[in-house]
């Protein structure tokens, strides 16, 4: 079984055509269709006239969540009007002394980009100062103790990223994932199709005449197909996140898990296709003919809501529909538990495809 797995991986990645279709083409399509400036962090300026540890801690905290811009106080108005800044904060002279004595001092804030930006910055500043207030109380007017406490507190704060998002950007995220769905369907036959190639050139029968039974033979092939699918999924997601700068927020790993489950569905679907076809050419033609309606009706190219009701009902019978519905929920901020129903449906599709493909293989073995 291990030898079959390793041999299939070598055969897959020695083929230039397979590498192009499985990995390079998805990345190329996404590179062409994703804007470089996919998400833009809020741009914030902090003018610290106090120069104390409290102001420095606030600056460090802001730098972890926003893009800090250096602007002089006299240039604030023009920077805000010209779009150089989204929001500006000013820490006046004597801020730390007043905070140490009272435990509460307001930071001046200016912005014209709308309430979302102001709320994000104010929430971070208020959270930081509220957490520093007990330190001021415990210091009892001792500036040295207060500085030490603030430094320790600042080292352990939790970072939060704020970015400018919109329905259009979320739609683009779902759209590029649609390209991944398309090429994963291609992958279904390009990997499991190795079984059909071996059947056509009689290699399968020579292997089964050795001390290898049908179960070991099929397990080796399916494991190799799964490894290839994992490489495809991980390479695409890492490319989107680190090369293209696509902002996934907190749903990156949930999306990753979703597409790993869909990879299993694709492999099982490929197994069913090659069990019906008699030659590799038939299988490749079949997957090309099936892919376009699968991804179109499934909502990989456009929202299903624009389709007629009849097509929507038909699309409910396709696995691509459910992976795109689940992806849309996650991109909209849903938790992993919110797509439990969609994951269950995908697993059911995988079970049906696998059962159909395996029963055909049992017939061949007999």
Rounded to whole angstroms, how far apart are CA atoms 63 and 66? 5
What does the pLDDT look like over 156-189, one tens digit per residue?
544 444 444 444 555 566 777 888 888 888 887 7
Contact 229, 310 (CB under 8 A): no
Distances (CA, A) of 107 to 84, 104, 181, 199: 21, 10, 48, 74
- φ and ψ at residue 53, rounded to 5 degrees: -65, -30
Question: Which range, 132-146, 250-264, 339-353, is most confident?
Answer: 339-353
- One of 3.30.1490, 3.40.1710, 3.10.590, 3.40.50 is the CATH number of 40-164, namely 3.40.1710
- Written as six digits, the tokens of 13 are 């990645």
How do residues 39-80 score in pLDDT, each as one tens digit? 556 788 888 887 777 778 788 878 877 888 888 888 888 888
182: enclosing H helix or E strand: helix 167-200
Q: Which two tokens stand for residue 83?
A: 């779009």
Q: Considering the chain, what is the average pLDDT of its residues?
A: 78
Q: The pTM is what?
A: 0.63
Please report, for residues 116, 146, 181, the alpha-carbon distance to residue 137 in angstroms, rounded to integers and kept in the order given. Answer: 32, 9, 56
Long-range contacts of 32-36 (CB under 8 A, 24+ apart): 33/175, 33/176, 33/179, 34/172, 34/176, 34/240, 34/244, 34/246, 35/172, 36/244, 36/245
238-275, pLDDT tens digit by residue? 888 887 777 676 678 898 999 999 999 999 998 888 88
Q: Which ranges in the chain are annotated with CATH 3.40.1710?
A: 40-164
Exposure string for 203-225, b = 16+ CB within 10 A, e = fewer: ebeebbeeeeebebbbebbbbbb
- Scanning 201-251, the segments in alpha helix (DSSP H) are 203-209, 214-238
Which pLDDT belongs to residue 161?
A: 47
What tokens were used for 154? Answer: 């600042």
């Amino acid at each position: 079984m291990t030898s079959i797995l390793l041999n299939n991986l070598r055969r897959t990645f020695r083929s230039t055509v397979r590498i192009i279709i499985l990995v390079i083409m998805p990345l190329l399509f996404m590179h062409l269709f994703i804007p470089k400036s996919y998400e833009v962090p809020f741009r914030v300026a902090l003018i610290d006239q106090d120069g104390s540890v409290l102001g420095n801690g606030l600056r460090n905290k802001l730098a972890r969540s926003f893009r800090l811009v250096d602007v002089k106080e006299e240039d604030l108005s023009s920077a805000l009007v010209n779009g150089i800044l989204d929001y500006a904060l000013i820490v006046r002279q004597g801020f730390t002394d007043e905070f140490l004595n009272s435990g509460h001092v307001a930071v001046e804030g200016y912005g014209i980009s709308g309430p979302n930006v102001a709320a994000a910055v104010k929430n971070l500043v208020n959270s930081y100062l509220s957490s520093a207030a007990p330190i001021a109380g415990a210091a009892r007017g001792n500036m040295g103790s207060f500085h030490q406490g603030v430094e320790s507190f600042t080292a352990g704060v939790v970072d939060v990223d704020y970015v400018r998002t919109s329905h259009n950007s979320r739609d683009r995220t779902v759209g590029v994932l649609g390209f991944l769905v398309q090429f994963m369907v291609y992958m279904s036959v390009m990997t499991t199709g190795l079984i059909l190639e071996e059947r056509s050139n009689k290699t399968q029968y020579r292997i089964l005449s050795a001390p290898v039974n049908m179960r070991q033979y099929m397990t080796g092939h399916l494991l190799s197909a799964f490894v290839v699918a994992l490489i495809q999924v991980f390479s695409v997601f890492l490319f989107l996140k680190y090369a293209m700068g696509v902002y996934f927020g907190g749903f990156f790993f949930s999306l990753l898990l979703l597409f790993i489950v869909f990879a299993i569905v694709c492999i099982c679907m490929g197994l069913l296709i090659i069990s019906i076809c008699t030659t590799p050419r038939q299988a490749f033609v079949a997957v090309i003919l099936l892919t376009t309606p699968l991804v179109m009706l499934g909502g990989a190219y456009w929202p299903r809501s624009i389709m007629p009701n009849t097509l929507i009902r038909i699309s409910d019978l396709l696995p691509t529909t459910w992976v795109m519905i689940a992806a849309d929920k996650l991109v909209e901020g849903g938790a992993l538990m919110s797509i439990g129903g969609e994951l269950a449906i995908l697993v059911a599709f995988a079970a049906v495809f696998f059962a159909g493909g395996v029963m055909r293989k049992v017939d061949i073995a007999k």
